[in-house]
A and B are shown apart, each in its own frame.
Chain A
């Protein structure tokens, strides 16, 4: 009798915990997932990129290309998105970023696997257990997903517990306004983050190869994109690369290389390797003009 009461109470408690989880998920959806689960299925051409693709925003749609990029998307995320597109659209062409860092082993940790699980299906997983964990438990259960907890923790730490920020507004310098020394330091940090390993990630390389194979199998044209970088960043990078573009070249696929397009135009950038919104708009024009002119390499 007593044990039944105990189990009943525990069940109610767990049920309320599920409700709490649901409320937290609403918050997470608003602040973290945001429009990551939004995609227009009415297109036949899509842009798959990481944060380099996001400044292009909706400007690509003028050229009938839907920008399906996500901050920190890795090839594993892009692969999931590609499979999703094949299942739900009549996709004919994919533009994919093949920048120097996209095969970095760092991407194995810095990715969107928790969010891109939304686009996955049973057939994308080797086991049912993995599918349930990634697609449902990790995605919807705030108490299971470590990234969600980290986001709330970082928010609290940065906004509430960092006393230096109390009573003052923060200002962020644009790339152009930074001193040469600041630009160098930030660029070096970024490069150190991505290029601390000698060899490219096997996981990312395999995923890119799978993306190529999937596109071939489904008659999808795949075009590689290299996004513009600042002069400072390129200088420090000094041709260091994990050579994602080479994998496409070996497979006889086209690359559009714009990494030195805006070498002397720092005002186009938000930081060392990301265009700002205005830069993104202008770059979109140049990108599709060059495609029309068949300036593919």
Chain B
């Protein structure tokens, strides 16, 4: 079920009413409802893969219990390895099987030893990269004795399958989300109101920004050989806003929906396109995944400790793995490597933790220096997204070589893209709102502080109107991260 569908608009109020009125008597019954609703939500897309979630849940639940009990180091390690193998195994089969097979065939053919093997027609279960990482984090935290294993299968199932964040995150840490399933939930008026506001903003990002940008980005990327340099740049910029609107929009809807049920999920995006360097960008983009890799991969590898060579190696590892996490394609790996390359100078000069504060603190506008840093970082990001969006490495390379032509300095022909100017105006407006709201959890979170209710509500109506008029509501476009 998609957040931007009528099905969800019917589903959500029903679950909300059941949750707060019918199942309110005990935490356990509320958790039970969450499991049922979440399985229904997921099954709406494809019920066959529910077994996969159930299997992953059961494995980690049992492993967690055994890990909690076991004192023997070897046994504990074996149990952890079992959990990781099962989760990575599932992910590997569904997501990477054909990729490895194709590359093995290519490599053996290249070495003069052609092999024959048939690739499988495998459907990628939606959200598999997200819930497997979430359950793995549970097993690792229990292994590290950071968290006690739960004995409540219903609560654990609810934690794994919690519908707002099941298919595209945020990838919650068990230590943050799981305890919330054991706390008595009291309806919080302000929290619920804030949740609805965040859902509204998420819908705006998805339907107005992302889905409209998608139309132009797809046209330009799919026919890249037909366009000149400046149009190709425009296509990359459209994709840059598409992916941000799409993914951060999803996260906003997920976080907002969770708040309606009394849950607090972690912030997943913190205005990444206002970052002054790439290190700051990665502290602000897909935070739940970045911190996952930091906690469970980067730090165990040694993190920023050790020699510069080791540090560079660690940076490359997490960016390459992060790229590979996104998809079984060399383009994602190169995208990861490119970001690592961007990061290395900051690491070498020791400036990777220079910009920890939000840009232009207590100021309305950035300084010229800040502005140019933001612009520079944005340009690097736009460039790297070309690899992310391209169908293949050859497509990415031809796209980039198409940019660096004489036509790069010509104004794109907007008459070929009716409506593109309107979208650019909307993007500008969107950036202004994001800039003004950059100190909050999401751009319009500080509207609560507005004293005039009439003014607040007028803004909500205006957003709804813009979504209705400019939003791409005629078709339900899937979120990009459903594919990861």
Question: Which residues of A pack against B, CB within 8 Å?
Answer: 2-3, 5-6, 9-10, 13, 16-17, 20, 142-143, 146, 149-150, 152-153, 156-157, 161-163
**B461 touches which of A6, A20, A161 (Cβ 8 Å):** A20
10 smallest beta-carbon distances between A and B, as pairs = A2-B189, A3-B187, A146-B474, A161-B422, A152-B469, A153-B469, A157-B422, A143-B468, A149-B469, A149-B468
Is there a chain A Cβ closer than 8 Å to B192's Cβ?
yes
Are B188 and A156 in contact, with the CB atoms below 8 A? no
Q: Which residues of the partner chain B approach A143 to less than 8 Å between Cβ atoms?
A: 464, 468
Are B425 and A161 in contact, with the CB atoms below 8 A? yes
Which chain B residues (170-200) contact chain A, with CB distance < 8 Å?
187-189, 192-193, 196
Which chain B residues (450-472) contact chain A, with CB distance < 8 Å?
457, 460-461, 464-465, 468-471
Q: Mark B337-354, 1 if CB is under 8 A from A, else 0.
A: 000000000000000000
Question: Contacts A13-B457, A146-B474 hold; do A6 and B469 have CB atoms under 8 A apart?
Answer: no
Are A146 and B473 in contact, with the CB atoms below 8 A? yes
Q: Which residues of the partner chain A approach B470 to less than 8 Å between Cβ atoms?
A: 153
Are A5 and B461 in contact, with the CB atoms below 8 A? no
Is there a chain A Cβ closer than 8 Å to B20's Cβ?
yes
Report how far A13 CA is from B422 CA in the complex, Å: 29
- Closest chain A residue to B471, Cβ basis: A149
Report how far A17 CA is from B9 CA in the complex, Å: 15
Q: List 8 A-B contacts (CB under 8 A).
A: A6-B187, A17-B464, A143-B468, A149-B468, A149-B471, A150-B474, A153-B422, A153-B469
Is there a chain A Cβ closer than 8 Å to B440's Cβ?
no
How big is chain B's contact interface, by range? 20 to 34
Q: Which residues of the partner chain B approach A162 to less than 8 Å between Cβ atoms?
A: 421
Q: Which residues of the partner chain B approach A146 to less than 8 Å between Cβ atoms?
A: 473-474
Report how far A3 CA is from B460 CA in the complex, Å: 21
Is there a chain A Cβ closer than 8 Å to B419's Cβ?
yes
Are B189 and A6 in contact, with the CB atoms below 8 A? yes
Report how far A2 CA is from B190 CA in the complex, Å: 9
Q: Which residues of the partner chain A approach B460 to less than 8 Å between Cβ atoms?
A: 13
Q: Which residues of the partner chain A approach B473 to less than 8 Å between Cβ atoms?
A: 146, 149
Report how far A49 CA is from B474 CA in the complex, Å: 27
Are A17 and B461 in contact, with the CB atoms below 8 A? yes
Starting from the known contacts A153-B422, A157-B422, 15 additional A-B residue pairs (CB-CB under 8 Å) come to: A2-B187, A2-B189, A3-B20, A3-B187, A9-B193, A17-B461, A142-B468, A143-B468, A146-B473, A149-B469, A149-B473, A150-B474, A156-B422, A161-B421, A163-B421
Are A2 and B188 in contact, with the CB atoms below 8 A? yes
Are B193 and A6 in contact, with the CB atoms below 8 A? yes
Q: Mark B411-433, 1 if CB is under 8 A from A, else 0.
A: 00000001101100100000000
- Closest chain A residue to B20, Cβ basis: A3
Are A156 and B469 in contact, with the CB atoms below 8 A? yes
Shortest C-beta distance, A114 to chain B (Å), equals: 12
Shortest C-beta distance, A20 to chain B (Å), equals: 6
Report how far A291 CA is from B471 CA in the complex, Å: 50
Report how far A3 CA is from B187 CA in the complex, Å: 6
- Closest chain A residue to B190, Cβ basis: A2
- Closest chain A residue to B464, Cβ basis: A17
- Closest chain A residue to B453, Cβ basis: A9
Shortest C-beta distance, A271 to chain B (Å), equals: 20
Report how far A152 CA is from B422 CA in the complex, Å: 13
